[in-house]
Amino acid sequence: MINHTVLFKLKEETTATQKQELIDALQALGEKIDELKEIQVKENFSDRSKGFDVVLYSIFDSKEDLESYQVHPAHVKVVGENVKPILEDILVADIEY
């Protein structure tokens, strides 16, 4: 099993609507990509967040499934339309268990 976790730091001028659209678009990938076994996308409320606003937590059966997800047209579209325009920084952790 693979856990793919992503922290998104959004640009200061990002609106609440843009943030929610990002969360909704990423969350909806669970219904569009078969290799994606579980996904949770939520706003980060920690006071130790270092400015990372949104957290994506996802599960895949294998590294190959994660690689397929990363190039899947639905994922590529969300990254291009919802993530990149408002992204200041990103942190990714992939672990196998």
Q: Are 25 and 79 in contact (CB under 8 A)?
A: no
Provide the residue-wise pLDDT of the chain in tens; the chain has 97 residues.
Answer: 999 999 999 999 999 999 999 999 999 999 999 999 999 999 999 999 999 999 999 999 999 999 999 999 999 999 999 999 999 999 999 999 9
d(CA 47, CA 84): 25
Three-state helix/strand/coil letters over the chain: CEEEEEEEEECCCCCHHHHHHHHHHHHHHHHCCCCEEEEEEEECCCCCCCCCCEEEEEEECCHHHHHHHHHCHHHHHHHHHHHHHHEEEEEEEEEEC
Provide the whole-model pTM: 0.95
Amino acid 17: pLDDT: 98
Amino acid 55: pLDDT: 98
Amino acid 97: pLDDT: 93
Amino acid 67: pLDDT: 98
Q: Which domains does the chain have, with CATH numbers?
A: 2-96 (3.30.70.100)
